[in-house]
Amino acid sequence: MLNEPTLERLNTMRLRGMAEAWQQQQQSAQVQSLSFDERFAMLVEAEWYARERRRVSRALKEAKLKQGHACIEDVDCSTKRQLDRAVLKQLQSCRWVEEHQCITITGATGVGKTYLACALAQHACRRGYKALYRRATRFFEELRLARADGSYSRLMARVARMNVLVLDDFAIQPMTDEQRGDLLEVLEDRCGSGSTIITSQLPTKQWHEYLLEPTVADAICDRVLHQAHKIVLKGPSRRRPETTK
C-alpha cells in the first residue's frame, strides 16, 4: 500500500535511478530475501550509476566531439601506427588533465588524429572532466564573430573553464595577426589551469616557422610544447580500406 507514495516521492526528489531499482526489487523474490542494508546499498549504487550516466551524457553533449563514438579502449596500437600502448595507458590515467599538460597529435591526413583526440577527450569526460572540441579554423572564426558582437569575453571565459580543449586541424591555412593573438590569449588563460589537445598535419618542429611572428611564436610554442605529450601517428590513411593483393 505504501509503494505508490514512496515511488512518487523518489521521483519528486529526482531519485529516478533509485526509484527504478526499487521497483525492480519489488519484483524479485531473490532480492527480497536480502537484508535491509544490502538492498539499500543496491538502491544507492543504482542512483549513483544513473547520475553518472546523466553527467557523462551532459558532458559529451557540451563537448560536441566530432567523433563522439571515439573510445580510448578501441584505439588501434598496431605496429604500423607507431602508437606506443604504454603511452596510451599512461594517458588513460588522466594525470595529464590533472597536471594541466598539453598533447600534440601529428601525422599525415587520415591516420586517425581526430579519432585519438576525441577518444582522449571522451575518456576525460567519463572521468569527471569537462571538454570542448573545435576545428581550429572555425574556432578562430567563432572568436572573430564574438569580438564583433560583444560576446568575446564570455566565450573566452567559457573556453578557460574547460578542463580539456581540443583544437583539431591546426595549421591547415595561414594565420592572421588577430588569430595568432587569439591563440596566445586562449593558451595563456589555460596555462596552469587546463589541458589542450592540438592535432595537425604539420610536425611540431615546424610550428614556430608557421607562426611567422617570432615573439608570438616563442610564446605559443612554449605554452604548448613545454612538457607536452607528443604523439606522431604513422601508417596509411584510415579513411579508405586497404586493398588486398
CATH number of 64-232: 3.40.50.300
| Local structure of 65: helix, strand or coil | coil
Label residue 1 by pLDDT band (50, 70, 90). very low
- What would the grid cell of residue 134 be? 573545435
Q: How many residues does the chain have?
A: 245
Q: Please give the pLDDT value at position 130.
A: 97
How far is 152 from 12, CA to CA, in rounded Å? Answer: 39
169-188, pLDDT tens digit by residue?
999 999 999 999 999 999 99
pLDDT mean across residues, the chain: 91
Assign 3-state DSSP to the chain and report helix, strand, coil percentages, each to 5: 60, 10, 30
Q: Please give the pLDDT value at position 243.
A: 44
90-104, pLDDT tens digit by residue?
999 999 999 999 999
Does pLDDT of 16 surpass 90? no
Does pLDDT of 245 surpass 70? no
Label residue 47 by pLDDT band (50, 70, 90). confident
Alpha-carbon torsion 139, 143, 146, 148, what sign?
negative
Q: Please give the pLDDT value at position 74.
A: 94
**Angle CA(82)–CA(110)–CA(94) in degrees, nearest 5?**
55
Amino acid (one-letter) located at 111? V
With a pLDDT cut of 70, the percent of the chain lying above it is: 97
**18 burial type by CB count under 10 A (0-12 exposed, 13-18 middle, 19+ buried):** buried
59-85, pLDDT tens digit by residue?
999 999 999 999 999 999 988 888 999
Q: Please give the pLDDT value at position 241.
A: 57
Q: Where are the domains of the chain?
A: 3-62, 64-232
Q: Tell whether pTM > 0.75.
A: yes
How far is 163 from 130, CA to CA, in rounded Å? Answer: 5
Q: Mean pLDDT throughout 24-37?
A: 84
